[in-house]
């Protein structure tokens, strides 16, 4: 009688599993071709004004310190420019130059350029110029993005760049929000950095900023056949443009969509197996005493202890920071680990580079 019930359950499970394995591959076959990986091996920079640049050595600070940073400098910049309350951020401005790098004429040129690119891409593009520590860059942009979007000064689909002109920390940091998080994913941000860094190194800041806006809009609208961006006269090399229908989507959704069907069948098996294992494990009784149960606290304890330091031994292993590939396709490795989540809960892609 009991056996009968067991078999009935088992056959239900098998039937359900078989049905699902039939349905799922069909659903996924579509997704799989559509979401195939694109790994662009090399990306020659055709507009490089200078030689391949060397990544400056970052001072050898211990890693722990980075996590302890409190971003006081950023808070100061935000306060000085009243960004935290959204006061200096308004609908018209595209370039926020807190560093005084660009004159009025240049600012106007850049802003109107960006407005045109925004229209092309259907996104918001903002550029900040300021000076701060490297560790603060990511946080600064997250705060700005929150302030812009919260106050309705920019769309949630936002490409945002920081030009850090602090003497010791010169660099660029780019983040993509909303649709830009996927369209302007970490890989693509690296390509943009490859291109624009060269111009900053040549001190042509206006062109560098314009190129950022240009490429951001390009990638957001990138389609299969699109090969070049006209306005600035840049030709995007053929091997850079997406050859396969789409790009690699690194977001959670994207990963889920690439979930292979055997995984869908096997993972639940593991779940069920683990669940039953845990149930059988907990079938029975647990010990409810420990080494403290019978100890009399008032009369028990340490009567002597020593912790004598003897010596320190040190060894080191060589582990270069940058990938430094020859041939100079990429000017440097990724220096800051791409995406994250802002204080306002907006997740984003990202990348940065020193120059």
Query: Which residues, including other chains, have CB under 8 Å from residue 154's CB and lie 6 or more apart?
Result: 124, 126, 145, 148
Kindly state the DSSP code that residue 160 receives in the 8-state scheme.
Answer: E
Q: Of 23, 6, 9, nearest to 265 (Cα)?
A: 23
Among 105, 296, 323, 326, binds other proteins (CB under 8 A): 296
Q: Of 193, 158, 187, nearest to 172 (Cα)?
A: 193
Minimum CB–partner distance for residue 33 and other proteins (Å): 14
Q: Is 13 in the site for other proteins (CB under 8 A)?
A: yes
Total residues interacting with other proteins, rule: CB under 8 A: 70
Minimum CB–partner distance for residue 294 and other proteins (Å): 4
Q: Is 26 in the site for other proteins (CB under 8 A)?
A: no
Q: How far apart are CA 233 and CA 299, in angstroms?
A: 85
Angle value at C-alpha 139, between 354 and 130, nearest 5 degrees: 55
CB-count exposure of residue 192 (10 Å: 0-12, 13-18, 19+): buried
Q: How far is CA 61 from the centre of its chain?
A: 23
DSSP 181-235: HHHT-HHHHHHHHHHHHHHHHTT-HHHHHHHHHHHHHHHHH--SS---BTTTTB-
Q: How far apart are CA 53 and CA 189, in angstroms?
A: 18
Residue whose CB is less far from other proteins, 230 or 287: 287
Minimum CB–partner distance for residue 181 and other proteins (Å): 15
Among 122, 245, 268, 337, binds other proteins (CB under 8 A): 268
Kindly state the DSSP code that residue 143 receives in the 8-state scheme.
Answer: H
Minimum CB–partner distance for residue 61 and other proteins (Å): 8
Pick left, alpha or beta for residue 285 (phi over 0 → left; psi -120 to 50 → alpha; otherwise beta): beta
DSSP H or E stretch at residue 172: strand 171-177
Q: Is 264 in the site for other proteins (CB under 8 A)?
A: yes
Residues 315, 309: contact at Cβ < 8 Å?
no
Residue whose CB is less far from other proteins, 10 or 82: 10
Q: Is 271 in the site for other proteins (CB under 8 A)?
A: yes
Minimum CB–partner distance for residue 140 and other proteins (Å): 24
- Segment contacting other proteins by CB under 8 A, of 19-27, 78-86, 119-127, 205-213: 19-27
Q: Of 194, 150, 19, nearest to 186 (Cα)?
A: 194
Q: How far apart are CA 151 and CA 87, in angstroms?
A: 9
Among 224, 243, 269, 343, binds other proteins (CB under 8 A): 269
Residue whose CB is less far from other proteins, 93 or 336: 336
Q: Is 68 in the site for other proteins (CB under 8 A)?
A: no
Q: Is 62 in the site for other proteins (CB under 8 A)?
A: yes
Return the residues of window 305-334 that contact other proteins according to CB under 8 A: 305-321
Minimum CB–partner distance for residue 20 and other proteins (Å): 6
Q: Is 5 in the site for other proteins (CB under 8 A)?
A: yes
Q: Is 245 in the site for other proteins (CB under 8 A)?
A: no
Residue listed under structure tokens 């092309």: 120
Q: Is 285 in the site for other proteins (CB under 8 A)?
A: yes
Among 256, 337, 343, 347, binds other proteins (CB under 8 A): 256
Q: Is 104 in the site for other proteins (CB under 8 A)?
A: no
Q: Is 39 in the site for other proteins (CB under 8 A)?
A: no
Q: Is 36 in the site for other proteins (CB under 8 A)?
A: no
Q: Kindly list the residues in this chain that would bind other proteins in the complex (CB under 8 A).
A: 2-3, 5-6, 9-10, 12-13, 16-17, 20, 24, 27-28, 31, 57, 60, 62-64, 253, 256-257, 259, 264-265, 267-269, 271-272, 275-276, 279-280, 283-289, 291, 293-296, 299-321
């Amino acid at each position: 009688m009991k056996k009968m019930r067991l078999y009935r359950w088992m056959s239900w499970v098998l039937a359900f599993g078989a049905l699902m394995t039939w349905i799922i591959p069909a659903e996924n076959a579509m997704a799989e071709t559509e979401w195939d990986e694109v790994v662009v091996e090399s990306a020659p920079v055709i507009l490089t004004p200078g030689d391949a640049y060397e990544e400056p050595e970052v001072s050898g600070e211990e890693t722990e310190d980075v996590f302890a940073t409190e971003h006081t400098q950023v808070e100061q910049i935000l306060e000085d420019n009243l960004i935290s309350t959204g006061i200096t951020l308004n609908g018209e401005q595209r370039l926020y130059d807190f560093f005084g790098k660009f004159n009025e004429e240049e600012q106007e040129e850049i802003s109107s350029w960006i407005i045109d690119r925004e229209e092309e891409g259907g996104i918001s593009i903002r550029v900040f110029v300021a000076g701060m520590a490297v560790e603060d860059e990511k946080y600064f942009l997250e705060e700005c993005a929150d302030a812009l979007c919260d106050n309705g000064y920019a769309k949630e689909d936002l490409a945002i760049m920081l030009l850090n002109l602090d003497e010791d920390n010169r660099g660029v940091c780019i983040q993509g929000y909303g649709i830009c998080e996927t369209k302007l994913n970490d890989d693509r941000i690296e390509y943009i950095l490859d291109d624009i860094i060269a111009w900053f190194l040549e001190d042509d800041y206006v062109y560098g900023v314009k190129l950022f806006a240009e490429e951001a809009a390009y990638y957001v609208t990138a389609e299969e056949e699109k090969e070049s961006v006209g306005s600035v006269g840049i030709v995007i090399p053929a091997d850079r443009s997406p050859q396969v229908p789409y790009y690699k989507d690194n977001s959670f959704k994207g990963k889920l969509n690439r979930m292979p069907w055997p995984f869908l069948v096997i993972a639940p098996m593991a779940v069920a197996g683990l669940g039953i294992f845990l149930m059988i494990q907990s079938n029975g009784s647990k010990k409810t005493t420990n080494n403290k149960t019978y100890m009399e606290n008032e009369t028990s304890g340490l009567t002597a202890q020593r912790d004598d330091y003897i010596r320190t031994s040190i060894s080191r292993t060589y582990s270069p920071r940058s990938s430094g590939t020859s041939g100079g396709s990429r000017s440097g490795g990724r220096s800051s680990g791409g995406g994250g989540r802002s204080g306002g809960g907006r997740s984003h892609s990202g990348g940065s580079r020193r120059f």
